Amino acid sequence: MASHLAYRFIDHALYLDEFIAAVIPRLQTVILVMHDWGSGLGFHWARRNAHRVAGLAFMEFVHPMTWELFETGGGANMFRKFRGPPEVGRKLADWYRKTLKNTRSVGIGPGRHWIQEDNPYLIGSELAKWMEQVVLAGDGERKV
């Protein structure tokens, strides 16, 4: 994936559109095999291109979250803090930035890292962006 690609759903969806258009002939049908975050992208593409879908295979898929479901895992409070007054969300993002830069990454090959240790300052700000953009049911429209 292009290193300049932002980590938003819409950016990945557009990238997937362009990839499929470049690799698979326009009139050919496809079978989408999806997992986790990619399932949301796959279902999004399938809904907009139903005439091209020959089949869907998916597991551990992302589904719309609700605040009620989120409460059971304890994550709702963190989301509310990120989405609250900017000074609170920014303070939390800064804490993540400072804390995560000291986290060890797991080696997965030369030049590759699980954690963006080459630019640790981006971790907190990107996390804050994602928390602000992710849609929870009843939240209204957000551009993810």
Q: How many helices (H) and strands (E) does the chain have?
A: 6, 4
pLDDT at 54 over 80: yes
pLDDT at 142 over 90: no
Place of tokens 């690799």: 23
Asked if residues 92 and 128 have their Cβ atoms less than 8 Å apart, the reply is yes
The residue among 109 and 127 whose pLDDT is bigger is 127
pLDDT of residue 102: 56
Three-class DSSP labels, 107-124: ECCCCCECCCCCCCHHHH
Domain ranges of the chain: 9-61, 65-137
- The rounded distance, in Å, linking the Cα atoms of 63 and 94 is 29
Q: How many CA atoms lie within 13 A of 67 on its CB side?
A: 8
Cα of 47 vs its chain's centroid, Å? 19
Place of tokens 């998916």: 58
The backbone torsions φ and ψ at residue 61, rounded to the nearest 5 degrees and listed phi first, read -85, 155
CB burial class (10 A; 0-12, 13-18, 19+) of residue 86? exposed
- Name the pTM for this structure: 0.58
pLDDT at 114 over 60: no
Nearest-CA neighbor of 31 among 49, 56, 48, 60?
A: 56
pLDDT of residue 109: 55
